[in-house]
Chain A
Amino acid sequence: MSKKDKVFTVKVRRDFCKGCGLCIEFCKKEVLGVSAKLNRMGYNPAEPVKPEACIGCMMCAQVCPDMAIEVYSG
């Protein structure tokens, strides 16, 4: 299977996210957006709004200061 056919899924650990928005800024495919619901700490966490657009570049996981982002392949 070539890399192009791979499917990637991005997940945000809701209670780890502090809603800084760096992942939303640096995601070139605009996969992530702000959640309308508050998390346990009272922040609006990031959440995938266009999950099918994810190409697994890991930019979001690179910039996340709280390791709140999980990227799955397959």
Chain B
Amino acid sequence: MELINNWPKYYKKDVVSHYCPGCGHGIVHRIVAELLEEMDLGKQAYLVCPAGCAVLAYNYFDFDVIESAHGRGTAIATGAKRAKPGLFVISYQGDGDLSAIGTAETIHSANRGENICVVFINNAVYGMTGGQMAPTSLIGQSTTTSPVGRNPEVDGYPLHITDVVANFPGVTYAERVSVSSPAAIKKTKKAIRNAFQTQVEGLGYSIVEVLSPCPTNWKMTPVQSCKWIDEEMVKEYKPGLLTDRREERRKEKS
């Protein structure tokens, strides 16, 4: 008997994560660890952890990880990449981190076109602090701070931060994917691989937004929350390629 799905080399062996049952973080962690192994980048990998549910991601990854202040992931990633261009820098951030408190850092690092990868986990809620409304929450979505549903007159509209940065000339690759089904997970892996390849070739800023389930704070079962992504969330956040300027950049470089 031969094991087909080996434990990824850069994911710590036999560690049980602190994530809730059905959380999308575990899937994206596995994808990141698998890709670093497949692309042979583990030795120079440098992951910037956010504040949020993934704050303890350094407990699970077996490569260099730094913890950032809330929202400042891309600023730290910028510093690391500029000081040591040989590093492979990934900023792993959630929606409360990247699109709320870290909006300035996100927008300016994207506008500067830093050569970093951003993995953006969008679950439309503040997960770690107990399910408060995030800028990315959907209209009508019930959270602990919007118990009757998000009202656009009071709370504004969902923030499409990836669409915003995708329009910047500095951004090379931007894609929105989800982890709600095995097919979507394969697409996610492909998108993150493209983003990693962008940085390896030195083509500039890449961002992958992952629509991820948060069953605990959505008050659903994990299966229901996957369905909710497919039925409700994709209406607001349409998955697909937002920007791909890799060919232009390759021509500019050569």
**Known contacts A26-B182, A62-B185, A74-B2; is-contact A67 B11 (Cβ 8 Å):** yes
Q: A62-B182, A63-B185 are in contact. Are A20 and B222 (CB under 8 A)?
A: yes
Question: Contact partner of A72 among B4, B26, B182, CB < 8 A?
Answer: B4
Q: Is there an interface contact between B4 and A20, defined as CB atoms closer than 8 Å?
A: no
Give the contacting residue for B5; candidates A25, A58, A65; CB below 8 A. Answer: A58
Alpha-carbon distance A58/B60, docked complex (angstroms): 23
Give Cα A72–Cα B5 distance, bound, in whole angstroms: 8
A67 touches B7 (CB 8 A): yes
Complex interface residues of chain B between 149 and 180 (CB less than 8 A to chain A): none
Judge whether A49 is part of the interface by a CB distance below 8 angstroms. no
Q: Which residues of B contact A67 (CB under 8 A)?
A: 7, 11, 26, 30
Contacts of A16 in B (CB 8 A): 16
How many CB-defined contacts (below 8 Å) exist between A and B?
74
Q: Which residues of A contact B83 (CB under 8 A)?
A: none
Choice from B3, B11, B182 contacting A63 with Cβ under 8 Å? B182
Query: For the complex, what is the distance from the CA of A28 to the CA of B230, rounded to whole Å?
Result: 19
Query: A65-B19, A66-B16, A67-B30 are known contacts. Are A21 and B4 too (CB-CB below 8 A)?
Result: no
Q: Give the residue of B3, B27, B223 whose beta carbon is less than 8 angstroms from that of A65.
A: B27
A74–B215 Cα gap in the complex (Å)? 36
B21: interface (CB < 8 Å)? yes
Bound Cα distance from A15 to B2, whole angstroms: 21
Residue of A nearest to B22 (CB): A20
Fill in one digit per residue for B1-20: 1 if any A CB lies within 8 Å of its CB, else 0: 11111010001000011011
B29 nearest in chain A by CB position: A65
Question: In the complex, how many angstroms separate the beta carbon of B3 from the nearest chain A beta carbon?
Answer: 6
By a beta-carbon cutoff of 8 Å, the part of chain A in contact with chain B is: 8-9, 15-16, 18-22, 25-26, 41, 43, 56, 58-59, 61-67, 69-74
Extra inter-chain contacts (5) besides given A18-B22, A20-B222, A63-B182, CB under 8 Å: A43-B21, A61-B5, A67-B11, A71-B3, A73-B2
Q: List 30 A-B contacts (CB under 8 A).
A: A9-B1, A16-B16, A18-B21, A18-B22, A20-B22, A20-B215, A22-B22, A25-B223, A25-B226, A26-B181, A43-B21, A58-B4, A61-B4, A62-B182, A62-B185, A62-B186, A63-B27, A65-B17, A65-B21, A65-B22, A65-B24, A66-B16, A66-B17, A66-B26, A67-B26, A67-B30, A71-B3, A72-B1, A73-B1, A74-B2
